[in-house]
Amino acid sequence: MKKIVAIFCFLTMFSCDKIKSFILKEDKKTNEPIIASVGETNLYLSDVANVVPRGTPKNDSLVLVKSFITSWAKQQLLLKKAEENISEVNSKKINELVKNYKESLYTNGYKEALINQQLDTLITKQSIEKYYTNNKDNFRLNEELIQLKYVYFGQDFLDKKEAIEKFKSNSIEDLEALENLTINFKDYMLRDSSWVSYDDVLLKIPPFRYESKEKLLKKSKFIQKEDSLGVYLVAVNNVLKRNDIAPLSYIENNIKQLILHKRKIELVREIEKTLINDAIKNNEFKEY
């Protein structure tokens, strides 16, 4: 550890999350303050500028900075020893991996920039429906879905009897009257045709966890459950089982992503094709 030169002794002032002053050395080439070095590698003041969180006490700040410098020194020493002791064969492999990774970063970054510029991200309702119709068998469920009407209110709710009566009714007038009470509900889902997974229903309605799955996965006009927190009113309007085809509304966002992914692949192929053709045309690419 003698090769490590720690150039600071103490912190003298702090402002926000930046270190105000160190006893430190200055890099003659860059005029950048150095706070530690391992061999020819330097750690600069700017490298530790954000190490200390805002509002950290002075003594804790010093501990954090010292810890950071020690970790940095260990990493540099390990790297130095690795470079000194690695075989020539392994070194060539590492250099090749680095080269390939660098090339991959450049090419992927360039492709991504072109995609962001040229990709058509507008997806119409018609294109979603068409994709769904043509690929229905690929959208089979691996979970149960439930379409339900649902109300949850506290045990102290004063209009409990009225809410139950309105909930049981099928008339539009009673549904509208029930909606007028929703301000006092803890949670509800009334005119919603959304599909909810069976697991999410159990999270929403804890008493259902003690009911058999078979009982819940069937249509039911009215189920009332209570616990210490409140009263749950449920009507199961529809059920889809595993391996049924998922409803479009449930997977619409997934289909959008699939369409975008397909467009990206096609765009990349077109970009690559254009690059090859242009290179041949400009005599930049030749096959011998």
Q: Determine the Cα–Cα distance for residues 201 and 152; give it in Å rounded to an integer.
A: 13
Q: What is the pLDDT of residue 91?
A: 82
- Of 129, 166, 173, nearest to 151 (Cα)? 166
pLDDT of residue 74: 94
Residue 47 has what DSSP assignment? G
Would you state the pLDDT for residue 55? 82
Once rounded to an integer, what is the mean pLDDT over residues 55-70? 88
Q: How far apart are CA 23 and CA 12, in angstroms?
A: 9
Residue 20 pLDDT exceeds 70: no
Q: What is the pLDDT of residue 213?
A: 87
73-118 pLDDT per residue, tens: 999 999 888 888 888 778 888 889 999 999 999 999 999 999 999 9
Closest CA to 45 of 29, 79, 68, 78: 68
The structure's pTM equals: 0.66
**Residue pLDDT, tens place only, 209-249:** 888 888 888 888 899 999 888 999 999 999 999 999 999 99
- What whole-number distance in Å separates Cα of residue 92 and Cα of residue 231? 69
pLDDT tens by residue, 147-203: 999 999 999 888 899 999 999 998 899 999 999 998 999 999 987 788 999 999 999
- pLDDT for 25 equals 58
Rg (CA), the chain: 33
pLDDT band per the 50, 70, 90 thresholds, residue 256: very high
Environment class of 163 (CB within 10 Å of its CB; exposed 0-12, middle 13-18, buried 19+): buried
Cβ proximity of 148 and 189 under 8 Å: yes
Q: What is the mean pLDDT of residues 22-50?
A: 76
Cα 246 to the center of its chain, rounded Å: 24
The pLDDT tens digits of the residues spanning 124-143 come to: 999 999 999 999 999 999 99
Backbone angles phi, psi at 113, to 5 degrees: -65, -45
Closest CA relative to residue 234, chosen from 197, 191, 196, 190 = 190
Max Cα-Cα span within the chain: 88
